[in-house]
Amino acid sequence: MISIILVAILFSYSALFLINSDETIVKIDSDNDGVYDDEDDFPDDPAASIDTDKDGYPDEWNPGKNQDGNITDLTLDAFPDDPAASIDTDGDGYPDKWNDGKNQSYSTSIPPLEIDEFPNDPKAHKDTDEDGVADFYDINDEVDLSIGIKILDFKVTSRVDILRWAQIYFDIIIDDNVTHRVSNNEKPWWVLLNQKKTVDTTPFYYDIPDKTDKKTTKIEIIMYDYDFFIEDHIVDISDIANKNTLVLIFDNEANQITFSGESEGSEGVLWYDISHSEKTIPDIDTYEKTYSWTFNNKNWKIYTEIPVKTYENYLNANVNRMPQNDRFAPDKKMAAFVTTNEEVVQDIADELYTLAKENNYDQVTTANFILRFVQENIDYSLDNETENCEEYWRFPVETLVEQKGDCEDTSVLYAAFMDYLGYDVALLYYKWEENSERVGHLAVGINLSGDHGEFVEDENGKKYYYCETTSEATIFKLGVIPDYPPQIKDDPAKIIPI
């Protein structure tokens, strides 16, 4: 049977006729772009032909074409595999808007796309605390920073005038610039010596500029004795030598301030209170987390969702956050932070194990693979920097959400993963004296057959290969004990099986 191919130009478009004894098939190329209409997602526009996600925006221009050459007002799809969105003006990977009739639930990306709240700024896309300043520029993107300062009581304890009473008012000065007067309806309070005076005033609220690049805000409270004839006297309320005013420093980055609520100097006492904005609780059901790391010269990435309620339950748990100092059962209290039965921990561990299995990793390589996940996804942060306290043990879910912590946080996280996956795991607790202070370190030990490097032994001779879960500069594999601090080259104070 012989087929004859004829090419004809009909009505300014191309047509291909396939003719044989049985049937005639006509294939048309209306826009003459070399792609037949039944295969062309834009059959009437020669500038483009492919639309993978079928959202009406082309993946790319046809060879030799661009936006100037299209006749149907096409725009390239910034998200060619996701039908939920197409336009990304600033090219930062976040869409300007959803396509017509779409929203985030239609997004096929993992994690789902998020709308760009700043579509013309490639450095910014989100404003977590809704203060109008993008997280990228915001000194603290979780809180719309503000401070409340309230004078509660005061007392004059020494003569500040020839009389046995004083006439008191206060100035609150922010960053040596903004001044707020606290007085008795624009008059001073009359008070006798050593008489505690309670004042009923509203707090002074100072809204820290959202675009500030200053890491701290200075608060100064000055107590004055009014004098009609001479300059008003500053009443000494400071317990610091050569100072007579109360000075406090608010940490803009951490949204924290340390204060006692009472300040006593040589001439008076002030009782006061400081309040500040609380951390914004996201109006969402889950945290969408992306974790990435490198291992065996490959880049890895996984996505997961962690219920906000689960995180808050751990965050608000009524537990001793310094379990190593528990008077009755410190070992049990430390081990309790290894929440092997937590579904979030199990889901991530399962995904990591699946990746390891797909790459034919053996037992030791899998342990190193997951160890690297912990080391590279959790930023090393001291508790006195993140929680404003000496010690604060986090549960694994807290660490996974916040992605920060120190040795105990990364160790209990890694121990939870490995215990769930069936490894024989223990916490290795070290402690020693340094500059008259007790210092400690936590690591993980895994019992494995064979020789895999450096290990510690329990009282029965059972070997646990050392796993350093923190990583500030150096990545450590299973079986390597770091040289610093040198005390961890000695036996741990406790080996706590999980």
Is residue 359 domain-shared with residue 490, that is, in the same domain? yes
Burial class (CB in 10 A: 0-12, 13-18, 19+), 132: exposed
Whose tokens are 């796309």? That residue is 113
| Domain assignment present for 154 | yes
Task: Give pLDDT, residue 131.
Answer: 58
| Domain assignment present for 15 | no
At 256 the three-state DSSP class reads strand
Q: First CA to last CA across the chain, in angstroms?
A: 78
Q: Where are any strands of DSSP class E within 21-102?
A: 24-29
Of 222, 244, 235, 209, the closest CA to residue 172 belongs to: 222
Is residue 336 domain-shared with residue 264, that is, in the same domain? no
How many C-beta atoms surround the C-beta of residue 180 within 10 A? Answer: 14
Of 389, 345, 491, 496, the closest CA to residue 431 belongs to: 491
The tokens for 58 are 């082309």
C-beta of residue 76 within 8 angstroms of C-beta of residue 58: yes
d(CA 214, CA 172): 19
Is residue 253 domain-shared with residue 360, that is, in the same domain? no
Of 100, 102, 60, the closest CA to residue 77 belongs to: 60
Show which of 252, 276, 300 is a domain's final residue.
276
Task: Give pLDDT, residue 125.
Answer: 81
Task: Give pLDDT, residue 66.
Answer: 86
Is residue 192 domain-shared with residue 321, that is, in the same domain? no
User: What are the contacts of 229-232 at 24+ separation with CB within 8 A?
Assistant: none
> Which DSSP state fits 46?
T
d(CA 389, CA 437): 15
Q: Where are any strands of DSSP class E within 118-177?
A: 146-156, 165-174
Residue numbers of the domain that contains 372:
286-497
| Domain assignment present for 471 | yes
Which amino acid is located at 377 in the chain? N
Task: Give pLDDT, residue 132.
Answer: 64
How many C-beta atoms surround the C-beta of residue 271 within 10 A? Answer: 19
Non-local CB neighbours of 79 within 8 Å, separated by 6+ positions: 53, 85, 86, 88, 95, 109, 113
Task: Give pLDDT, residue 8.
Answer: 38
Show which of 276, 301, 319 is a domain's final residue.
276
Task: Give pLDDT, residue 179.
Answer: 85
d(CA 238, CA 470): 42
Is residue 403 domain-shared with residue 484, that is, in the same domain? yes
Whose tokens are 């030799």? That residue is 64
Q: What is the β-pairing status of strands 268-276 and 262-264?
A: antiparallel
- Angle of helix 343-358 relative to helix 363-377, nearest 10 degrees? 120
Task: Give pLDDT, residue 3.
Answer: 40
The CA dihedral of 363, 366, 370, 372, to the nearest 10 degrees, is: 110
CATH of residue 187: 2.60.40
Walking along the chain (498 residues) 10 residues at a time, the average pLDDT comes out as 38 48 72 89 91 92 84 88 91 91 84 84 74 55 69 94 89 90 93 92 78 84 92 94 94 82 96 76 75 90 92 87 87 94 95 95 96 93 70 92 92 97 96 69 94 93 94 80 87 94
| Domain assignment present for 36 | no
C-beta of residue 258 within 8 angstroms of C-beta of residue 279: no
Is residue 406 domain-shared with residue 381, that is, in the same domain? yes
Is residue 251 domain-shared with residue 376, that is, in the same domain? no
| Domain assignment present for 69 | no
The tokens for 67 are 């936006």
Task: Give pLDDT, residue 438.
Answer: 62
